[in-house]
Amino acid sequence: MKLPPLSQRIAAGLADAPADRVRREVFTSLRARVAAARPRYPHLQDRIRAIKSEALEHLDELVGLAAGRLRANGCTVVVARTAAEARAHILDIITGGTVVKSKSNAVKEIGAVEALEGRHVEVVETDLGDRINQLNGTYGAHILAPAIQIPIERIRELYSELAGEMLPDDPEELVKVARDDLRAVFAGAGYGMSGANALAAETGTVCVVENEGNIRMLSSLPDVYIAVVPITKIVRTLEDALTVLQGASVYGVAQRIGTYASCISGPAPRGGFGPRAMHVILVDNGRRRAIAAGFGEAFECISCGSCLDHCPVYAVIGDKYGVVTHIGGIGILQASFTSGLELTAAQGLSLCLNCRACVDPCPVNIDTPGMHARLREEVPAPQRLTRLARMVLGLTGSVASMRATGTALYAADRLGLRRAGEKLLPPRLRETASLLPRMPTPREMAPAPERIEAIGPQKHTVAFFSGCIMSTWLAPINWATLRVLARSGCRLRVPRGQGCCGALHHHMGEGRRARELARRAIDAFSGLDDCEAIVTNSAGCGAAMKEYADLLRDDPAYAERAREFAARVRDASEFLAAHDVAAPVISIPGRAVYFDPCHLGIAQGITEQPRRLLRNLPGLEVVDFRRREACCGSAGIYNLIHPDVSGRLADLLVADLLAANPDFIVTSNPGCLLQARWGLARAGQASRARVVHLMELMDRATGTAG
């Protein structure tokens, strides 16, 4: 597959304003409707997860069972190991004439359409969105809404051309013309081709769900029906398949079930109505390899498109996040096995923010971000990371280097050299230079004492994780946090040598380094058994440390210790909200908005506690705001790797925040804090509001001097 360089594709995606507008409209309505539809089926996600993982576990058995039953039902079945094999089978079956085809990721994946057209077979898309793309000479841009990027004005032009007269700007009228256009094609087509949402092995039943009725047409009118089915779509029973179809409907489009669910168990019998022949092409194409490599979960996907509707990256660049055959974060994972890592390493394996916004909205609860982090490890560092990114990762891995750099930058600031330094940066990074905070004094950046006594009656003993950037470039936030904790009755332990949590390294594919850092942190905190919690004020560190058990599960010496460590990790707001907090005494007049770091709100499920603490501060008016995207685009060092995508997300966030007219923009993570400041600067609104950490406001309200 030949694609332009990723940077060009991203730029094109960001520049496509009409597509952005349509995506925005669709997401706004769809997200709310899906959220409203889900509670009716509280167990659906768990059931689908169980069905799909059971199916993958018994894949070989089910492939055999399905093939046997389909053959017994009168179908012709082949198992294609590669896309080329699948194409060859299709070219054996279809020798000429017209194929009516439905929307199918599998057909797209094996390149069947191009191969058929190469043999002068006419392939007509019958899903309206795909048909519009076909007439427009473009590709589907969304799993379920392929023409999402094409505005109605353009569709009107296309169909007016087809009809030979100027049609009105009315979806009803355009659909009528589209129906008539395709009716004529259905009447004369010799072949129908679709994918499948699921294949019930036990009965040999191809199950498809749709809203338009084109699959019902193409699987009953033409003489030959071909279903292209990835082996990972096979489930055991009809009931399992129906559950999958319902999941795709509820989570993908907020329907209890799609308008038409068809369960097809073979060609028409003698005297029946339907295809005389039915072919099922089972496609492996890298799936068994993915399962063997520990990435089978990527193929538990039931293709509902819900992840795209919740992905901040897809929201701003659309299908440029993907490789045509496979779209979005899950698509990148799948394409890494169906097309190869060479393709995806260059085309978007670096684009996942790890914000986890896609995980809960997935009917299979697939951990797409986690798999991205693991798969990145397979790509050599020079291909994966820019020099700057590697430098920053090297820096954050060492608190001492962070401190040294901070001190140097502090000196540069004092000497007025910051500006001159920025001019030395490459142009595309120059504007991200304002992400660097103004450095604290070297005294502030000094390590905290190992022991700090509670102020007032002692109620708790807790350990404090100081972090890399928090203990140096943003040290005042750490001091504020320590004061708030001490005033709230905490005796504090700040062990030396704890270092960096390794979150950035983990997300960026530096798994080995991340595990080293995790082990170091665990070692540093060992022996502090009297501490009831390990408290952090950085959402990113907290999320990473709570996942240490997973990170080190294959390390016999550390697996158990990692579990114990992870169980004690608490975000500062989580800990404080669960205990007595120092009574606020000083009023802070002003309006405040709180925005959730994804690593706190989504990864740790902590959304209420920070707001409750904030509302408790006298003088402060805490207001809500309508947030469009889950992630601010900071995402560790994402803003250095994809400054354009990150900048757009910062702009979105800041526009949303400023609509609430705040004096204080409050958050709980260093990256998010710097990102919001950057966004304000980009908007020329740096003085409109102060961006602060929750602990800074609590510090101000609860005390006088530290």
Partner 1 sequence: MNAPRADRPAPFPNGVSEPDRPAGASDAAASPRREEALAALGRVRLRARAGLLEDALGAMAELGFQVARPAANDDIMRKVREIIPAGANVVYHPCVVGRAIGVDEMLRAEGRHVVRLPGDGDPARQNGSWREQLLAAQCGITGATALVADTGSLVLAEELGFGRAASNVPPTHIALVTSDSVVETLLDAAVMARGYAALHLHRPLPRYLSFISGPSRTADIGFTLVRGMHGPRTVHVLVWDGIKAVGNDDAALRDWVLP
Stretch touching partner 1 by CB under 8 A, among 3-11, 209-217, 430-438, 695-703: 209-217
Judged by CB under 8 A, the chain residues 29 through 48 that form the site for partner 1 are 29
Member of 35, 72, 166, 578 binding partner 1 (CB under 8 A): 72
Q: Which is nearer to partner 1, 245 or 645 (CB)?
A: 245
Q: Does 195 bind partner 1 (CB under 8 A)?
A: no
Member of 151, 449, 618, 619 binding partner 1 (CB under 8 A): 151
Between the CA of residue 169 and those of 160, 163, 662, what are the distances in Å? 10, 14, 42
In degrees and rounded to multiples of 5, residue 699 shows phi and psi of: -60, -45
The string of DSSP letters for 604-636 reads S---HHHHHHHHTSTTEEEE----S-S--S-TT
Member of 3, 88, 93, 263 binding partner 1 (CB under 8 A): 263
Query: Residue 571's beta-bridge partner residues?
Result: 536
Q: Does 255 bind partner 1 (CB under 8 A)?
A: yes
Supply the minimum distance, in Å, between the C-beta of residue 211 and partner 1: 5
- The dihedral built from the CA positions of residue 171, 173, 176 and 180, taken in this order, carries a sign that is negative
Residues binding partner 1: number (CB under 8 A): 66
Percentage helix, strand, coil, to 5, in the chain? 50, 10, 35
Member of 4, 5, 118, 171 binding partner 1 (CB under 8 A): 171
Stretch touching partner 1 by CB under 8 A, among 179-187, 539-547, 614-622, 654-662: 179-187
| Type of residue found at 170 | D
Pattern 89-128, binding to partner 1, x per CB under 8 A? -------------------------------------xxx
Judged by CB under 8 A, the chain residues 408 through 467 that form the site for partner 1 are none
Find the Cα–Cα–Cα–Cα dihedral 167, 171, 177, 183, rounded to 10°. Answer: 170
Stretch touching partner 1 by CB under 8 A, among 172-180, 299-307, 569-577, 692-700: 172-180
Query: Residue 593's beta-bridge partner residues?
Result: 623, 665
Q: Which is nearer to partner 1, 203 or 609 (CB)?
A: 203
- Of residues 278, 303, 292, 290, the one with CA closest to residue 366: 303
Q: Does 129 bind partner 1 (CB under 8 A)?
A: yes
Q: Is 32 exposed, middle or buried (0-12, 13-18, 19+ CB in 10 A)?
A: exposed
Q: Does 172 bind partner 1 (CB under 8 A)?
A: yes
Classify residue 345 by its DSSP letter.
H
Q: Decide if 99 contacts 191 (C-beta within 8 A).
A: yes
- Of residues 240, 243, 352, 365, the one with CA closest to residue 297: 365
Q: How far is CA 419 from the centre of its chain?
A: 36
Q: Does 179 bind partner 1 (CB under 8 A)?
A: yes
Stretch touching partner 1 by CB under 8 A, among 143-151, 297-305, 424-432, 518-526: 143-151
Member of 81, 256, 428, 615 binding partner 1 (CB under 8 A): 256
Q: Does 168 bind partner 1 (CB under 8 A)?
A: no
Give the Cα separation of 339 and 350 in Å (integer): 17
Give the Cα separation of 173 and 158 in Å (integer): 13
Judged by CB under 8 A, the chain residues 664 through 703 that form the site for partner 1 are none
Member of 56, 174, 282, 351 binding partner 1 (CB under 8 A): 174
Q: Under the rule (CB under 8 A), what is the footprint of partner 1?
A: 22, 25-26, 29, 68-69, 72-74, 126-129, 132, 145-148, 151-152, 155, 171-172, 174-176, 178-179, 182-183, 187, 202-203, 205, 211-214, 216-217, 220-221, 238-239, 242-243, 246, 255-266, 268-274
